[in-house]
Amino acid sequence: MLGSADDLVAAKAALLRPRGGRRRLGPEALRAALVDLHDFWLSARGAAAGLGTGAALVAVGALGRRELAPHSDLDLVLLHDGRSEIEPLAERIWYPLWNAGIGLDHAVRTPDQAVAVAAGDLRAAFGLLEARHIAGDAELFAVLHAGIRRSWRAGIRGRFDEIAEAVERRWQAAGDVAHRVEPDLKNGHGGLRDVQLLDALAAAQLVDRPTGEVAAAHALLLDVRTELHRLAGRPRDVMRAQDADEIAVALALGDRFELARALSGAARSVAFAAEVALRAARSALPRRGLAALRRTPVRRPLGSGVVEHLGEVVLARDASAVRDPALTLRVAAAAARTGLPVAAGTLHRLAGTAPELREPWPRPALDELLALLGAGRGMVGVVEALDRTGLWGRLFPEWGAVRDLPPRDRAHLWTVDRHLVETCAQAARLTTRVARPDLLLVAALLHDIGKGRGGDHSVIGASLATQIGRRLGFPGPDVAVLDAVVRHHLLLPHIATRRDLDDPATVTRVVDALAGNGLVLDLLDTLAEADALATGPGVWSPWKQKLIRDLTDRARALMAGEPLPEPGPLSVANRELAATVLAQGRPQVRMSGTEAASVVVAAPAISRPSRPGPLSAAAGVLALHSLEVYAAELRTEGTVAVHEFRVSPRFGRLPDPALIRADLIRVLDGTLVLADALARKEHDYAPTVPDADDPAPPRVLWFDDEASGVVVLELRATDRIGLLHRVAAALEGCGVELRWARVSTLGSSVVDSFGVAGCRPGHGPAGTERRAVEQAVLAAAAEPR
């Protein structure tokens, strides 16, 4: 028997942690049990408090919708008929809940007061539309229920713009549930609040209530949020990546990737339904006064068989997809070009009548596809609408493998299919840089099409691009270019950020891979930028842009038979810096630039025993000052090491170079122990998540094909504060001579490449020596336990 609120808390805890061999309740059963439990206790409490005629206890929010998650707050309204002694009754209900630590949002209202509050507060209106009677006077609740719905329907015309603007703000703030690595299940675009929006528009009699696909999507969203609450032990709406595996197991969905894919599909169904409902509701708003006398707007032609009507793209009356193979793509291109949505009825009509295009596509169909892809940002929502109604998959059957496919690393903001569309939108801004913008757009759309099938996605994607290119009607040479661009779309970023561009073998490798095709090189250069911009914030940096442009220019020069630039001597400024070191015996630091800055560190090249060498010392001090290193050029002038680092601040502004120099002197003198200082900084500033995923183990790869005799040691690891310092110290401890370093950071992962000459100048390490170097580097890169 539930007496006190503490009994309620204990009963709830028992539901969450079943004992004595009882089965764990599934999410739907758990929500139902929690609703029944709270209904029972509140009814009993209301009766004990004296709740009777003229007063009723009403649930809104999650309890009102029967969607109570394990740690949802209670939203309650004490409804009364205007009696003066209502506060003591309210306190007898509220205080036990407060004393037991139960989250409570409460109000005391008459039906008229509640209707008045709903008329001025949109959030209150949405909540009261979902109100449910718990205990007390049922007839009083019926008065509220009828009054709220009558007021909502009567005032919807005057409130619709406010509703639409609030929804847009929420979508902007919370982002897409379908495409975020860590989605907001409640507030995001395609989340639970959008289902509430659909119900509210249906209550206004503007649209039908959601059923079928949306209902199934709603159930999955609720199940995921329920398990998220159960796992977190507190209210939470944002599902973090590290939560996903346990939630997937609880829902029998395999792993986090299967969960992400299912969740993405569900959220896209809800988002599409919400967008269509908002447009349909606006069109269905009751017309009054002079507006009711206005003639229906004239249809404005947008293309053959395509017109604008009431702010949407629709089919002309005599348009037929059977007779006009390019009609679907013409509708899509018109929508992307004008920024108008395609009417839901038009999408469904095309889905029901448009046949598959014969192979090769008719030229008008390819032209309309290119017009769609070239529309930039306008194409994103159009492709989404085509995909949700099955039309995009009819055009590109290969799309099914990447649809809703989650990314495998956290640097990617979007699902794979959305990333392809975003890359295409970015590429549309860059088409004037290439001789074949049509091939750039199609390659951007297809560059990751091989993902989700196992194996090397670039090789698989190239085969699919060849298949699609032929189907689209491109001639053989153009299909070969598409194959090459998709096959090598990672070549320039990979080489530029991991190899020494001054080594002729680096440039020769690129030219040989592309068979000397200058068109492919130009397309890859532009695609690299579009791909990075569409990946996530910070992936396309000024330094990465410079590296790729430099590599492209060198490859273009080699293709033209021009000599490659030779590495030049130290600049005058750097020679002067080295001379100052010789004169004073102290390290010197010079900084230039702003966001992507250059930091030159000159120090004695000979390190003392038990003290860091010049590279590890400089890298450690830069890390202490919150500078992220992208690359290091390692040069020697006599007995002075002159290292130039390309850096950017992790946050804030660049530090004072005098402070960097002061710390560097202390490190080389032995008065500042870098290992201890970096450990303290990592403890204070690195993200610490107790239940985070275990990081992937570090790997070391060797590449022996550099023309200069230098071999490349490539480290792949999880990023840490001071990682470059630790690895450089390990290499210095092995007696390895370093010629250059490249540091590439992608999200939480890094790929650090080092040009290694070995323990003896001109010789790379081999055999047991190489294994010893590898073990030292792996130990330095490993996460501390």
SS (H, E, C) 240-294: CHHHHHHHHHHCCCCCHHHHHHHHHHHHHHHHHHHHHHHHHHHHHCCCCHHHHHC
Question: pLDDT value at position 20?
Answer: 60
For the cut 80, the answer to whether the pLDDT of residue 400 exceeds it is: yes
Residues 604-607: contacts with CB under 8 Å, at least 24 apart: 604/639, 604/640, 604/641, 604/668, 605/636, 605/639, 605/640, 605/641, 606/639, 607/732
How confident is the model over 451-479, as pLDDT tens digits?
999 899 999 999 999 999 999 999 999 99
Among 241-245, 262-266, 630-634, 676-680, which is the least confidently predicted range?
Answer: 630-634
What pLDDT band is residue 695 in, cutting at 50, 70 and 90? low
Indicate the class that CATH gives domain 419-568: mainly alpha
Query: Span 613-621, mean pLDDT?
Result: 91
Q: What is the DSSP string of 65-82?
A: TT---TTPPEEEEEEESS
Q: Provide the 3-class DSSP secondary structure of residue 375.
A: coil
Cβ atoms of residues 223 and 28 within 8 Å: yes
For the cut 80, the answer to whether the pLDDT of residue 296 exceeds it is: no
Question: pLDDT value at position 293?
Answer: 47
Check residue 456 and report its DSSP letter. -
Query: Span 345-358, mean pLDDT?
Result: 93
Residue 436 CA to residue 385 CA, distance in Å, equals: 28
- As a whole number, the mean pLDDT across the chain is 89
Query: Span 513-519, mean pLDDT?
Result: 96
What pLDDT band is residue 742 in, cutting at 50, 70 and 90? confident
Question: pLDDT value at position 785?
Answer: 52
Residue 123 CA to residue 163 CA, distance in Å, equals: 10
How confident is the model over 365-398, as pLDDT tens digits?
999 999 999 999 999 999 999 999 999 999 999 9
What fold is seen in the domain 5-155?
Answer: Tetracycline Repressor; domain 2 (1.10.357)
Cβ atoms of residues 193 and 222 within 8 Å: no
Among 45-59, 84-98, 591-605, 751-765, which is the least confidently predicted range?
Answer: 751-765
Question: pLDDT value at position 669?
Answer: 87
How confident is the model over 241-266, as pLDDT tens digits?
788 889 999 999 988 889 999 999 99
How confident is the model over 762-780, as pLDDT tens digits?
455 666 788 899 999 999 9
Percentage with pLDDT > 90 across the chain: 62
How confident is the model over 269-282, as pLDDT tens digits?
999 999 999 999 99
Question: pLDDT value at position 558?
Answer: 94
Cβ atoms of residues 592 and 642 within 8 Å: no
What pLDDT band is residue 77 in, cutting at 50, 70 and 90? very high
Q: How far is CA 781 from the centre of its chain?
A: 27
Q: Give me the half-sphere count of Cα atoms (radius 13 Å) on the Cβ side of residue 104.
A: 20
Greater pLDDT, 578 or 747: 578
Question: pLDDT value at position 343?
Answer: 93
Question: pLDDT value at position 679?
Answer: 84
Question: pLDDT value at position 511?
Answer: 96
The model's pTM: 0.82
